[in-house]
């Protein structure tokens, strides 16, 4: 599904990614872990086409297409979703209007007719129940006045509405209390199918208690320095990232 | 009377010397402005003496006035001797078919979803008689007539209701009010007249679109709306379609008079040609709009969405004379490319317990300049009056400018005046967030801007609101790279 080859990227003139290689197949969950500043969020942003990040070398294919040649909105419509670490507020734009536009843009891209208002509201109700989001939130402006936890729940709700083939969750666990973490994780697990894939970007092991990955990659100074199965998380939790640094001979 | 006839005779006789050109399709006089021209206009329109006097007073006053320079606008010099001040409505179509019309204009019509027949009318293509719209107009007129509502062109009103005109003309905007109002008072060609009788609620929104002979009312339009005791009317000015007009200078006057417990809601969507991307061409729009809440507990609401014109100079205002009267000003002004807007309102509180609200939303993009200028004045007698003002500016990019000039004068201690202002930028992060959900940058900007302006757009009548939303989006096309 996703093939990243020798990817280099810059932010504000500074090299952050220095040769990432990663392959994600349908049905898989990958966790990308690493100390602060290792390039985790940069990788997430580069993949979804944030123009503040400049790719200087390498290639990314997504379902056989050249991902880097697409604009951000096309990447989204091709099935790529980012759950933002810090979702922005858009005052005056209702969640309903925002999501209706988004869903219908996706449909248009697939040559499907737009959903009627009735069908759309029905879909919203279903997905709201699925991810256990408070009905009140969807009556408000996009993320406006939402608490940290509500914003993260709202991201998962949008993911449920858009049904991406590859979802990237950037530090979704940060700022969540244990109940919210459970609800959010539950939503992600429910949305999992053999045809889609998930990349979890996280600093802590705790999210991985709820969403169990197939693979864990450790990102350090812009490179994936270690890849293993889910047991790696426990080892990291126990020994910390210093252990990796030592292993690398630093 | 004899003198008057003699004068009229003289004037009409002299017409020819001044190069009056009369043919079937057009009816214009020589360019330039003089007392003769003012007399000719009045004579051509067969106006009663009081109208000629009104015009002449205004003209003589105008000669002594200077173009106002206090606005945050760069206004090129206007040569009044190069303007043709009278042109009767032209019946002749400009084009044979839509194929001859500027494709850019057609593209905009398309986006606004304007029906084909209407597109033709707006761009000056010959239209076949459309049975439907004729019958709509007829039914419309009948419904209004049944209730004694007068809705006609200003010229018709001068002919058929001179008493009303004489009583109310200049009550809100005196002939000597300001430079452009004086100019308008001297040379205005036509416009709309509305009178709602006592105790009558106008059963439909009055729109110039439905008024016969509404086309080509010209550069110096004059509108007078009178709402008698206990009446209500909602009036829609203009059209959301872009009007291409060869006249560069527009100086309209709108007067509203609300008597006891009357309510007038005046909504405008202004979308005149703003000039091209490099700031060439475009309309200069100098408008004086003012309402008087003359009666007790009367109410006047100004709602406007302004996206057009190269230069906009416009301050729809209210004089709250009657005790307990209420006024509102809700505005969205959008400027892009090299447009300049200096717009706002004046709320003059004179009666006791009067209340006014101002919500102004400026949106600037490109190299444009967008200023809010507002005055809230509470006179010593206006006890227990209240004003709430909210002035927000939204910037797109960093080459545009937004300015706020609020003036507040409160002369008693029992009144409360509140003012809030914010300036924000459309964040790249907001646009990116929309992009990531599959929404293109252009649609994202449209959505964010409409969200920002929602409070005002919601005040517009339904069909106006929908078109205003599309208009905001279209006006910002290409403003963010």
Domains of chain A: 2-247 (3.40.50.300)
Chain A residues bordering chain B (beta-carbon distance below 8 Å): 48-52, 71-73, 76-77, 81-82, 84, 87-88, 90-94, 97-99, 101-102, 105-106, 109, 141-142, 158, 162
- For position B94, what pLDDT does the model report? 52
* CA A31/CA A208 separation, integer angstroms: 8
More confident residue, B258 or A240: B258
As a whole number of angstroms, the longest Cα–Cα distance in chain A is 61
- For position A197, what pLDDT does the model report? 96
Taking CA atoms, A87 is separated from A102, A158, A166, B437, B452, in Å, by: 16, 12, 19, 12, 18
Interval A125-160: pLDDT, tens: 999 988 888 878 888 999 999 988 899 999 999 999
- For position B210, what pLDDT does the model report? 44
- For position A143, what pLDDT does the model report? 94
**Interface membership of B433 toward A (CB under 8 Å):** yes
- Whether residue A101 and residue B443 make contact (CB cut-off 8 A), yes or no, is yes
Give the angle A206-A138-A178 at the CA atoms, nearest 5°: 20
* CA B200/CA B204 separation, integer angstroms: 12
Q: Give the E-state strand segments of B42-108 in sequence order.
A: none
* Mean pLDDT score of chain A: 92
- For position B135, what pLDDT does the model report? 44
Query: Looking at the partner chain, which of B427, B438, B451 has a beta carbon nearest the beta carbon of A93?
Result: B451
- Whether residue A76 and residue B432 make contact (CB cut-off 8 A), yes or no, is no
B246-273 per-residue burial string, b: 16 or more CB within 10 A, e: under 16: eebbbbbbbbbbbbbbbbbbbbbbbbbb
Closest CA to A187 of A198, A195, A203: A198
Q: Give the residues of chain B that fall short of pLDDT 70.
A: 1-29, 87-139, 208-218, 238-247, 463, 478-481
Closest residue of chain B to A49, computed from CA coordinates: B436
Query: Looking at the partner chain, which of B429, B440, B447 has a beta carbon nearest the beta carbon of A88?
Result: B429
Three-state SS at B61: helix
Closest CA to B319 of B343, B302, B331, B341: B302
What pTM value is reported for the model? 0.78
* CA B457/CA B422 separation, integer angstroms: 19
Closest residue of chain B to A85, computed from CA coordinates: B433
- Whether residue B437 and residue A162 make contact (CB cut-off 8 A), yes or no, is yes
**Interface membership of B470 toward A (CB under 8 Å):** no
- Whether residue A162 and residue B435 make contact (CB cut-off 8 A), yes or no, is no
Location of structure tokens 């092991």 = A205
**Alpha helix ranges (H) inside A51-196:** 72-77, 95-109, 117-131, 135-138, 148-162, 178-191
* CA B101/CA B95 separation, integer angstroms: 7
Chain B residue numbers with beta carbons less than 8 Å from the beta carbon of A106 are 438
**Interface membership of B425 toward A (CB under 8 Å):** no
Neighbours of B177 (CB within 10 A): 18
- For position A235, what pLDDT does the model report? 84
Closest CA to B61 of B37, B35, B41, B84: B35
- For position B240, what pLDDT does the model report? 52
Location of structure tokens 């293509």 = B125
Read off the tokens for A132: 């256990």
Helices vs strands, H then E, count in chain B? 12, 21
* CA B310/CA A180 separation, integer angstroms: 53
- Minimal Cα–Cα distance from A242 to chain B, Å? 34
| Mutate which: B437, B451, B453, vs A, most A CBs within 10 A | B437
Helix (H) or strand (E) holding B332: strand B326-335
């Amino acid at each position: 599904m996703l093939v990243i080859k020798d990817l280099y990227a810059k932010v504000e003139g500074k090299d952050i990614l220095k040769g990432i290689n990663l392959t994600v197949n349908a049905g898989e969950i990958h966790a990308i872990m690493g100390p602060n500043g290792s390039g985790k969020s940069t990788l997430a942003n580069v993949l979804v086409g944030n123009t503040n990040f400049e790719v200087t070398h390498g290639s990314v294919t997504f379902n056989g297409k050249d991902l880097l040649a697409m604009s951000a909105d096309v990447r989204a419509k091709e099935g790529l979703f980012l759950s933002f670490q810090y979702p922005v507020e858009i005052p005056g734009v209702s969640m309903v209007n925002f999501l209706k536009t988004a869903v219908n843009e996706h449909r248009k891209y697939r040559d499907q007719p737009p959903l009627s208002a009735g069908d759309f509201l029905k879909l919203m109700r279903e997905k709201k129940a699925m991810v256990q989001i408070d009905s009140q939130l969807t009556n408000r402006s996009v993320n406006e006045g939402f608490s940290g936890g509500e914003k993260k729940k709202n991201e998962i709700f949008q993911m449920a509405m858009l049904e991406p083939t590859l979802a990237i969750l950037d530090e979704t666990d940060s700022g969540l209390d244990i109940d919210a973490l459970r609800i959010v994780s539950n939503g992600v697990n429910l949305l999992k199918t053999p045809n889609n894939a998930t990349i979890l970007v996280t600093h802590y092991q705790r999210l991985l208690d709820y969403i169990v990955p197939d693979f864990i990659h450790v990102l350090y100074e812009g490179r994936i320095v270690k890849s293993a199965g889910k047991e790696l998380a426990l080892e990291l939790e126990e020994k910390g990232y210093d252990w990796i640094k030592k292993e690398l001979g630093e | 009377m004899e003198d008057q006839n003699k004068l009229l005779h003289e004037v009409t006789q002299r017409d020819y010397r001044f190069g009056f050109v009369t043919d079937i399709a057009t009816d214009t006089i020589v360019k330039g402005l003089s007392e003769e021209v003012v007399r000719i206009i009045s004579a051509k329109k067969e106006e009663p003496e009081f109208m000629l006097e009104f015009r002449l007073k205004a003209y003589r006053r105008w000669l002594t006035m200077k173009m106002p320079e206090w606005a945050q606008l760069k206004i090129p010099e206007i040569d009044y001797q190069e303007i043709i001040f009278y042109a009767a409505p032209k019946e002749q179509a400009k084009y044979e078919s839509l194929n001859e019309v500027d494709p850019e204009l057609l593209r905009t019509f398309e986006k606004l979803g304007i029906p084909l027949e209407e597109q033709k009318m707006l761009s000056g293509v010959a239209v076949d008689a459309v049975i439907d719209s004729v019958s709509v107009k007829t039914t419309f007129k009948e419904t209004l007539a049944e209730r004694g509502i007068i809705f006609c062109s200003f010229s018709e009103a001068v002919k058929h209701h001179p008493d009303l005109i004489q009583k109310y003309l200049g009550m809100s905007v005196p002939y000597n009010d300001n430079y452009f109002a004086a100019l308008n008072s001297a040379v205005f060609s036509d416009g709309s007249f509305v009178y709602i009788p006592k105790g009558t609620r106008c059963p439909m929104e009055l729109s110039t679109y439905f008024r016969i002979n509404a086309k080509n009312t010209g550069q110096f339009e004059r509108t007078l709306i009178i709402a008698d005791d206990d009446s209500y009317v909602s009036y829609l000015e203009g059209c959301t379609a872009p009007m291409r007009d060869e006249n560069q200078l527009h100086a309209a006057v709108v007067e509203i008079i609300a008597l006891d417990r009357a309510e007038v809601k005046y909504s405008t969507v202004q979308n005149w040609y703003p000039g091209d991307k490099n700031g060439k061409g475009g309309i200069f729009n100098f408008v004086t709009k003012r309402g008087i809440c003359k009666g007790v507990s009367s109410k006047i609401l100004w709602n406007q969405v302004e996206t057009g014109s190269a230069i906009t100079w416009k301050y729809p205002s209210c004089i709250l004379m009657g005790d307990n009267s209420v006024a509102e000003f809700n505005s969205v002004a959008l400027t892009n490319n090299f447009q300049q807007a200096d717009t706002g309102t004046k709320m003059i509180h004179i009666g006791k317990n009067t209340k006014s609200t101002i919500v102004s939303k400026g949106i600037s993009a490109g190299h444009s300049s967008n200023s809010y200028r507002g005055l809230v004045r509470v006179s010593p007698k206006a006890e227990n009056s209240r004003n709430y003002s909210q002035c927000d500016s939204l910037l797109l990019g960093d080459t545009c400018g937004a300015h706020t000039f609020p003036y507040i004068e409160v002369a008693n201690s029992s009144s409360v005046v509140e003012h809030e202002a914010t300036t924000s930028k459309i964040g790249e992060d907001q646009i990116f967030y929309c992009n990531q959900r599959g929404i293109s940058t252009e649609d994202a900007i449209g959505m964010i801007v409409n969200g920002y302006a929602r409070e005002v757009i919601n005040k517009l009548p339904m069909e106006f609101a929908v078109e205003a939303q599309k208009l905001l989006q279209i006006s910002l096309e290409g403003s963010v790279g």
